[in-house]
Structure 1
Amino acid sequence: MTLFESASRNAAPFLHGPEFAAMSEALRAGQFGHNTATDAFETELAEFLGVPDVVSVNSCTAALHLSLLAAGVGPGDEVVVPSQTFCATVHAILMAGAQPRFADITADTQCVDSTTVRAALTPRTRAVLPVLYGGRAVDLSEIRTELTDLGITLIEDAAHAFGSRLGGELVGTTGALTCFSFGPIKNLTCIEGGALIPRDQHDADQVRALRLMGVTQSQSARIRTTDYQVDVRGWRYHLSAVHAAVGRVQLAHFPVIEEKRKALWRAYARELAAIETVNLVDVDVDHSVPFNCVVRVPDRDRIFATMRDLNIGVGVHYPPNHTQPAFLRWYRPLPVTETTATEIMSLPFHPAMTENDVHHVASVLEQAVLIPRPETL
């Protein structure tokens, strides 16, 4: 990329090179669906996380949907979820036949906490779905026993948080159903893909059947018979061997990815510290693998337009779901979400960036903040 071209993109995939050879080998093998490469990726993910089992799927949306079904969520149930998330989280709830119960967030983290979750609980709550925004692990230990006693399942949307930790424990190892995304710009990419961490063998068996059209027999077993058996209604959610091949390379290089993302976020923290009125959303970088770099700024829309005009790839992640036309029937006032929705702006953040790129973005942001509003000129 040319000088500062990286800063013109809000996010971008980060590949090391061996991914291309791995994809080519998977293609030459001639079996593009779920096969031994997919199984190997699951085994390696489980070893990395230190968990008994991992179930790979074709997206985090699929992982969320299957996790909700594994938790017994269905029609008539409510799922507590922050409005501050990508709309896929809400769609997964609706796909399970349940309804979202939107929760507020804290301004500093853009995540739910025990107080905001407790305020959203109702007698119909069947699951709580915290979103680990920006890669920050959400600590609900204060109310975890309370949720368990109420028969409420904790399902983590960790789309942003592969490799992050809650204290000393990796996300995915704390006992909750946990869903990861391996989409194009995530901390670890399969180009497209996802995974879920089951709570036990029952969860694992159930979601493995659901992800492959309800067929419970393994691929090798189906090859040896003239028939197969569909035991439950299912979906085409499995991860292909080609995508798994990319994920295996990424996983082997994950320490490099982690260090690049942490170094980039710390560079932003240093550069932005001196800019008044710019507040950096805290991801707890010592324990997190940052997915993005989000600031809160006054007069966001003007600053956003100025940055775009100056070829800086800013974005907004995300417009709140409880004000979206498709979800308005579940609207409830969320003061913090609604206020910060007018302030948040995502700065360019991807491992191809350099510290010079970060300095450039911060310099342009400082200029944009200082430009007077049109009515004051």
Structure 2
Amino acid sequence: MTRSMEQIPFGRPMIGDEEQQAVAAVLAGSILVHGPKTLAFEEAFRQFTDAPHAVAVSSCTAGMHLFWHEHGLGKGDEVVVPAQTHVATAHAVALTGARPIFVDADPVTGNMDVSRVESAITERTKGIVVVHFLGLPADMTSLAMLAKRHGLLLLEDCALSVGASLDGSHTGLWGDAGVFSFYPVKHMTTAEGGMVITRNQDLAERLRLIRAFGVNRTHGERATPGVYNVPELGFNYRMNEINAAIGIEQVKKLPGFLTKRAENRNTLADALADIEELTPLASGNDRVVHGHYCLSTLLPQGWEAKRSALIKGLKERGVGSSVYYPHPVPRLDYYQNQYGYRDSDFPSAARISDTSIALPVGPHLTPDHMKRIATAIKETLVGW
């Protein structure tokens, strides 16, 4: 089937004249790194999340790796990690030499099953990393109490939860730190980049030090240009001024982006309600504000092979879709080969990975597009 029609892409960076002009202004100047734009972006994002401290980094993965490195994780240590997440969540742990201990997903929400976390904790456990799956805040009240009771670090992977909150507190402010992603199709973008927020001033200062080689003086603090010391090992995980300039403009647009996402998600959910083959993941309760990265819906069990046909049918009708995520992380080759995890250990995560389809709700789309998506699904399912 080939049709000439308007395409509905799964995601698209929302870059306008403001971002282009901001980038042009940076390129017309002489400071491309270690400059005022990064500081301004940190402040803008800090204010948006109501965080005491914000530290810009080169990516969400870099921010998570910095956090675990700063807390001295290494060989012999363990961190509890959701099985249903992007591989970066686990990589940030494994890169320190520590071992990720995976916990299955809640089959209704996709978030980590809190009831299984305590049984994963051993004498080697140093921390827990929680993911707010597709923008739905996890049960941070229970997880924070659990981490405190066992004396564990608690890191929030907020890659898909910009704008999401629980009991009025933005995601990222419940644990020791939260890390965000600004990849091109996320809630906002800096082309590439990330941000760490925290209530801990000492941690923020330490992260600023080790994100830039461990150099002890910024350019503005050097009495003699080019003269500094390096008291410890660090990384090249800083954000540049071009990325930060884009981010400043994107933060200004975030409220509008988030409003459109919520409107699109609600319209799409209503339009899908009479399709009995679909079971959308839960969207939360009155305690949460959902980030609505996408609308992920499950197909019936046994339809694993049919998902590809549905995705193909949607593509033929001009509708983009995706899968979050194609495998539970412990099923990926590296983690199977390195640690010997069995797929049967994570049945809920496997069900979500194998039978879910992620539908777009981004601000590049309208409620009318949502109705078109639902119609395309119904047309594809006819005769199944």
* Residue in 2 that maps onto 1:303: 310
Report the CA distance between 1:99 and its aligned residue.
Answer: 1.2
TM-score by length of 1: 0.93
Cross-structure match for 1:375:
none
Partner of 1:290: 292
Q: Which residue of 2 aligns with 1:324?
A: 332
Output the TM-score relative to the length of structure 2: 0.91
Q: Counterparts of 2:259 and 2:15 in 1: how far apart (Å)? A: 15
Please give the alpha-carbon distance, in whole angstroms, between the structure 1 residues aligned to 2:137 and 2:256.
Answer: 21
Query: What's the counterpart of residue 372 of structure 2?
Result: 360
**Structure 1 residues 74 and 4 mapped into 2: Cα distance closer, same or farther (>3 Å)?**
farther
Residue pairs, 1:212-291, within 5 angstroms: 212-222=212-222, 224-284=224-284, 287-291=289-293
Q: Return the offset for 1:270.
A: 0.8
Deviation at 1:122, TM superposition (A): 2.3
> Secondary structure of 1:183's partner?
coil
Please name the residue that 1:35 is paired with.
35
- 3-state SS of the aligned residue for 1:32? coil
Partner of 1:127: 127
Shift of 1:223: 6.7
Contact 1:4-1:357 at 8 Å conserved across structures = no
Q: Specify the SS of the correspondent of 1:197.
A: strand
Find out whether 1:348 has 2:360 as its counterpart. yes
Q: Helix, strand or coil: the match of 1:180?
A: strand
User: Which amino acid is 2:362 matched to?
Assistant: H
Q: Is the 8 A contact 1:213 1:230 kept in 2?
A: yes
Which runs of structure 2 are paired with 1:1-377 in the superposition (5 Å)? Answer: 5-7=6-8, 9-222=9-222, 224-284=224-284, 287-298=289-300, 299=303, 300-319=307-326, 320-328=328-336, 329-330=338-339, 331-332=341-342, 333-372=345-384
> Which stretches of structure 1, 4 residues or more, deviate above 4 A after TM superposition?
none
How far apart, CA to CA, are the structure 2 residues paired with 1:97 and 1:27? 39
Does structure 2 retain, via aligned residues, the 8 Å contact 1:80–1:102? yes
1:341-373 Cα distance to aligned partner (Å, 9 max, x none): 21111113321112221111111112223332x
- 5+ residue gaps in structure 1? 373-377
Offset of 1:226 from its aligned partner? Answer: 4.6
Inter-CA distance 3–134: structure 2 relative to 1 (3 Å threshold): farther
8 Å contact from structure 1 (residues 32, 241) kept in 2: yes
SS in 1 for 2:261: helix
Equivalent residue letter for 1:334:
F
Distance (Å, rounded) in 1 between the aligned partners of 2:147 and 2:175: 13
Deviation track 1:60-101 (CA, whole Å, cap 9, x = no partner) reads 001110111233322211111112111111111111221111
Measure, in 1, the Cα distance between the counterparts of 2:113 and 2:140: 6
Aligned counterparts of 1:347 and 1:226: Cα–Cα separation in 2:
51
Deviation by residue 1:202-250 (Cα, 9 ceiling, x = unmatched): 2112111110011121121237345211111111111111111111111
| Preserved contact between residue 7 and residue 318 of structure 2 (Cα < 8 Å) | no
Give the residue type in structure 2 aligned to 1:108: V
Between 36-45 and 221-230, report the one with greater CA deviation.
221-230
Give deviations 1:41-63, integer Å, cap 9, x for gaps: 11122222222210000110011
Contact in 1 for aligned 2:53/2:198 (Cα 8 Å): yes
Kindly state the Cα deviation for residue 283 of structure 1 after the two structures are TM-superposed.
3.2
The change in CA–CA distance for 1:155 and 1:355 in structure 2 (over 3 A counts) is: same
Change (3 A) 1:271 1:205: same
Task: Tell me, in whole angstroms, the C-alpha distance in 2 between the residues paired with 1:337 and 1:41.
Answer: 36
SS at 2:311 equivalent: helix
Contact conserved, 2:163 with 2:289, CA < 8 A, in 1? no
1:169, CA displacement in angstroms? 1.2
Residue ranges of structure 2 left out of the alignment (5+ in a row): none
1:281-340 deviation digits (Å, cap 9, x = unpaired): 223386122111211113223322332343321211112211111110331411111222
SS in 2 for 1:129: strand
Distance 1:86 1:175 in 2: 19
Equivalents in 2 of 1:134, 1:220: separation in Å?
A: 39
Distance 2:349 2:226 in 1: 55
Aligned residues: 370
Q: Deviations over 1:121-162 (max 9, x none)?
A: 222211111111111111132242332232211100000011
% of aligned pairs identical? Answer: 29
Letter in 2 for 1:356: D
